[in-house]
A and B are shown apart, each in its own frame.
Chain A
Amino acid sequence: MDRREFLRAASAAGCFAPFASLSSLAYGAQLPGKPILVTVFLRGGADGLHLVAPTADPDYVAARPPELRVPDSGERTGILLERSLDPAAGFRLHADAAPLAELYQARRLAIVHAVGLTDGTRSHFVAQDLMERGVSDEKGIGTIGNGWLARALAGIKGLVPAYSATAATAYALHGLPASLSTPDVSGGLSLPWGAPTTSLLHALSLSGTSPAHRASLAALDVLESVDRNIPRDGGGKVLPYKPDGRASYEGSAELARTLASVARLAKMNVGLAAACVDHGGWDTHDGQSGRFANQIRQLAMGLAAFHEDMAAAGRKVVIVVMTEFGRRLRSNKSGGTDHGHGSCWLVLGDHVRGGAMYGKWPGLATAKLDQGVDLAVTTDYRTVLAEALTSSGLEAKDSFPDWKSVASLGIFGGA
């Protein structure tokens, strides 16, 4: 009898006691000893050439005004990276990513450059869709109706195996019934007017089969599982979250608050194995200089806090920072950059062989560019995600059905 049948039977027998019987189904923790996999999706196409850049490459210098480059001298000099893909190219990290440079130096953070889709799309929505479904071309959109991460988690038991730290479920988790979607759990997840509402909605949800009925039932189950794990004071008020170690999510940046919610959930005993986080605002067609610096600061501070919090709590984690594509090498005249192709991803956390760049640098000479204008893709995005899945104890084969594994990048394997 699955959970739904059980509920129907219990309800029909008039002995409906929501959840009491379900707690025995709870699982203690994520896969034993394996890191939780967290994806941070930079929505809008983050400019990889403004984050980690070959500052000594004359093609790079010629293509952009100083404010859209990582400079190799002067006030906002980028942070020089050891063990880069091409030492002669002078790879540097954006100055506002200093917390990430520390993680790189501590060998916790790896950089994958010239990564992305092999499909030629420059549409945000198509590119995100392809990546979240785990397919390589637009034919796959018609045939694959759920997310790559959902397929990897399909057999994983647990009350809340996946958490989408977004208002709506990230498409990567689409198709997984037991997931929680909300950007913030700091207010608790109780229902208005308490237990009578819960019982009533259970009964009404079981009375039909529409998507609304199914969603209602799934929601009640997940909400209650998480809500009873959120610490409250005597008056029922949710206690503020206390991160471990020296971690601080202070500042108002939304990303940091969202990552704090992931950490909070990861530390509950609800069986969390994976989480999806969104960070929007990267579609910098104009005014990129200031906007991008601000985005990078939020990203770097958020990731550093989350990494410290999880490490201090002894919770293993792998974080993949991804984006749908990079941006045009040559800037436009609005002080911004248009949609491009190859981009830069970050991988950090446990077992990551950090402090190094991975992939193959194609160069920025016109003949080496994709369609003569954009950074080429030399690493299929699925290579990175598959390695991250494996490292988290999950199977990659169902996630990427039309993908044939090539040589591993070897990002994982460290302590």
Chain B
Amino acid sequence: MKSSSDTYALSRLTFGLNEASADNVARQGLRGWLEEQLRPEDARDAACVQRIADFRLRIRYGESKDWPAVDEPRTLKWLDAPIERLSALTDPAKPVANPEKTRPRAEVIAATLLRAVYSHWQLREVLCDFWHNHFSVNAWDNSVGITLPVYDRDVIRCHAFGNFREMLEAVGKSTAMLWYLNNRSSRTGAPNENYARELFELHTMGRDAYLNGLYNRWRDVPGASKGKPIGYIDQDVYEAARAFTGWGIEDGAGLGGGQMLPRSGRFAYVESWHDNYQKRVLATEFDPYQPAQADGKKVLDLAAFHPATARFLAKKLCIRLVADNPPESLVTSTAKVWTDNIEKSDQIARVVAHIALSKDFGQIRGSKIKRPLELVASYARATGVEFVPTEGLVGEMDAAGQRLFGWPTPTGHPDTADYWLGANTMRRRWTLVAGLTDNWWGTGVFDALVPFGDKEAVAEKLIAYWSERLYGDTFPLLTPSLMNAAGLLPGSTVRNPAVARRLVAWAAMSPDYQLR
């Protein structure tokens, strides 16, 4: 296969080639395209915005004493909703059917799939997917799921190209994360360590900086005597957990003395639950009785600005955008760009630009396995199907190993090949392509003969056309293999639309199409 480096770049900076993205890169050059992509404006993506506004996702459930039966196509009404309205879905005083409670999550999933296929701002969608996995929450738990529209919109999407420290605080104060990692119930005297631990291990410094196996006391960690420890240990986790006591949610909890928090779902700082005494995190002393939230914010500063964090995030972004084992030199230079721009409001955009314009980025090809979301979106983009996200499709992607917004642990979906290549996950991948092609889940039908005006095509020409659409170039090996699979003799004319579609699907089941 031959192909321009821009084609390969696009396959890793978008959810797959389509005519528009290829044309845009050809017109602007990769650098120009990238500069535009790093400054997304919804106003300049009217077609996709309209598509989401017009979209109807079916909802159906039976009647009970508290509600009537419902079976209707319904607009995505929760995407712009404030947390207060979403929180009312779990108010025990106003019971609603479970499909109403899972609806916010289902709507975000539908919008995510539509944007992956149709958004002009493809790079933003790629980064949102990255951050959702980096700051993963399990929205298949309804308490978290009802908050997903806010988490997606005001935390992830809003900061995807922004400043990491700001994003980290938005995550730490988000209803989704406060629920998911239990900090809402962390109180002075017996703090809950869950958030503090994952903050260090997964959100910032990374597990390579967790040195508990080597050191039992904080002052033994190299660099601690100068206030710059090279990593963290359990003692830092315990102290950080104390710093976040009192960071909670307005969830109706009792405050003592007959007082109660409202039930708005908003972030709450409860002074009486905060441990005000002195602390020491990462060899830095915290004085007692600091102003409201200052202890927690100081931990976020220490974690966000630590050199281990620059390295961890640089490597993770390179793994996402370049290769499972990115070149060491690229990780190092990326970490430097991260640190040099640590105060900038577009820190992340600058880091992404550095990676995408690096020499390594252009030279490395086909180095990443597509996750099911990438496979589905790239196939839909290449075929040009009028794509309809459905529950059936989401379930099949789950079976292929990717439950959107539902990875059970806070690590997010794995981003290296091993996880995605088991025997059955491969089979489910092939099933995804077959099901999209034959419309098993109501996702839409494409006509593979449309590009050939007279509704018939010579098989070789049909295959050449579609391999160009799928791969960005011809793929000579495919032709005899596909002809053979379809039982077609050389020079045959294809008139049956189902046969034509199946040829396209088989081309997309190829191992080469699983790579990006």
Binding site for B on A (CB under 8 A): 43-44, 119-126, 137-138, 164, 167-169, 174, 179-182, 189, 191-193, 196-197, 199-201, 203-205, 207-208, 210-213, 215-216, 218-219, 222-223, 280-281, 283, 285-286, 330-336, 338-339, 371
Contacts and interface: CB of A to CB of B under 8 A. Distances in A.
B423 A332 contact: no
B320 interface: no
A212 B190 contact: no
A260 B423 CA distance: 19
B485 A125 contact: no
9 contacts: A123-B210, A125-B201, A125-B207, A137-B213, A138-B214, A203-B481, A212-B421, A213-B511, A339-B193
A11 B269 CA distance: 67
Interface in B478-510: 478, 481-482, 484-487, 502, 506, 509-510
A203 B201 CA distance: 43
Interface residues of B, number: 61
B11 to A, nearest CB: 14
B190 A200 contact: no
Contacts of A189: 423-424, 427
B434 interface: yes
A21 B214 CA distance: 54
A216 B399 CA distance: 17
Given A121-B210, A138-B214, A338-B193, 13 more contacts: A122-B197, A126-B207, A126-B210, A167-B424, A168-B419, A168-B422, A181-B422, A191-B430, A197-B434, A211-B369, A215-B421, A215-B511, A280-B409
B510 A204 contact: yes
B262 interface: no
Nearest to B440: A192
B424 A212 contact: no
Contacts of A199: 484-485
Given A204-B512, A211-B417, A216 B234 contact: no
A219 B427 contact: yes
A174 B511 CA distance: 20
B504 to A, nearest CB: 13
Interface string B94-115: 0000000000000000000000
A338 B194 contact: yes
B185 interface: yes
A216 B426 contact: yes
Interface in B421-442: 421-427, 430-431, 433-435
A280 B185 CA distance: 22
A208 B427 contact: no
Contact of A212 (B189, B487, B515): B515
B192 A286 contact: yes
Interface of B: 181-182, 185-187, 189-194, 197, 201, 207, 210, 212-214, 216, 234, 237, 366, 369, 399, 401, 408-409, 411, 414, 417-427, 430-431, 433-435, 477-478, 481-482, 484-487, 502, 506, 509-512, 514-515
Contacts of A335: 185
B105 to A, nearest CB: 19
A218 B201 contact: no
Contacts of A204: 477-478, 481, 509-512
Contacts of A181: 422-425
Contact of B409 (A119, A124, A192, A216): A124
B216 A120 contact: yes
Nearest to A330: B190
B373 to A, nearest CB: 15
B303 to A, nearest CB: 16
Contacts of A219: 421-424, 426-427
A192 B422 contact: no
Contact of B511 (A119, A216, A283): A216
Given A181-B423, A189-B427, A120 B485 contact: no
A164 B422 contact: yes
Contacts of B419: 168-169
A169 B418 CA distance: 8
Given A336-B182, A338-B193, A205 B422 contact: no
A350 to B, nearest CB: 28
Contacts of B424: 167, 180-182, 189, 219, 223
Nearest to B201: A123
Closest CB pairs A-B (n = 4): A192-B434, A182-B424, A181-B422, A215-B421
Contacts of A213: 511-512
Contacts, number: 179
Contacts of A124: 409
A88 to B, nearest CB: 29
Given A121-B213, A123-B210, A286-B185, A193 B192 contact: no
Contacts of B511: 201, 204-205, 208, 210, 212-213, 215-216
Given A200-B481, A200-B485, A208 B512 contact: yes
Contacts of B510: 201, 204
Nearest to B187: A333
Q: Which of B216, B369, B425, B482 has its CB near the most chain A CB atoms (within 10 A)?
A: B425
Contacts of A164: 422
Given A197-B430, A205-B511, A119 B182 contact: no
A168 B420 contact: yes
B411 A125 contact: yes
Contact of B477 (A207, A330, A338): A207
A333 B430 contact: no
Contacts of B515: 210, 212
Nearest to B370: A212
Contacts of A201: 430, 509-511
A200 B212 contact: no
Contacts of B213: 119-121, 126, 137-138
B210 A197 contact: no
B24 to A, nearest CB: 28
A332 B186 CA distance: 8
Contacts of B194: 285, 338
B506 A200 contact: yes
Given A192-B435, A204-B511, A167 B192 contact: no
Nearest to A139: B213
A286 B417 CA distance: 34
Nearest to A164: B422
Nearest to B413: A168
B482 A200 contact: yes
B419 to A, nearest CB: 4
B216 A167 contact: no
